[in-house]
Amino acid sequence: MSLLLLFSRLIDRLNEMVGKSVTWLVLIAVVISSVNASVRYTFSMSSNAWLEAQWYLFAGVFLLGAGYTHLRNEHIRIDILSHRLSPRGHAWLDIFGTLFFLLPMAGLILVLSWPVFMNSFHSMEISGNAGGLIRWPARLLVPVGFGLLTLQAVSELIKRVAFLTGHLAELPGGHGGHPPSVDEAEDLTAAQKP
């Protein structure tokens, strides 16, 4: 189980790093939007490339941040059921949801989006809008984002099983609260070692 927990920590670190990095995309999108609006209204000039760049950046924030959102336990939950459960019941509910809903959905999107990206990359697909951008970078965001989400789902699954088998003292993410940071999770794991 310690190797699996180490693998889980590596996934957590990856998604923590990616999640914190993509926050800069929000600032870049705001700057592009502001400059584009200013130029459009001041000089009556505009380009579809600037609008598409904003869309790409928004897609990057949403898709690349999905794994980080899951790590931080900030995703949507159905609290009608989950807040009434014990920590063990909560862990079982998370395992069930991950195995039967999250992993199949994320895996299917990952598998189906890869050929779309490859086709776009090989054909060097360009937006149909005048002055638009190439499309393969935006298409690449889908498999990469769902790949990161799939990895984080595996990490969360490992942590739930470790909790149920007694290898973790607390349910990661707490019961109804925010999850521990990566460093706090390492401290919890280290505390469990004999």
Taking a C-beta distance cutoff of 8 angstroms, is the pair 145, 64 a contact?
yes
CA atoms of 17 and 11, how far apart (whole Å): 10
Q: Looking at residue 51, what is its pLDDT?
A: 87
**Where is 89: in which H helix or E strand?**
helix 87-97
* CA 137, 56, 45, 32 torsion-angle sign: negative
- Tokens linked to 126: 């360009």
Asked if pLDDT for residue 177 goes beyond 50, the answer is no
Q: How far apart are CA 147 and CA 87, in angstroms?
A: 28
The tens digit of pLDDT for each residue in 108-154 reads 999 999 999 999 999 999 888 887 788 999 999 999 999 999 999 99
Token match 């600037």: residue?
50
Q: What is the pTM of this model?
A: 0.81
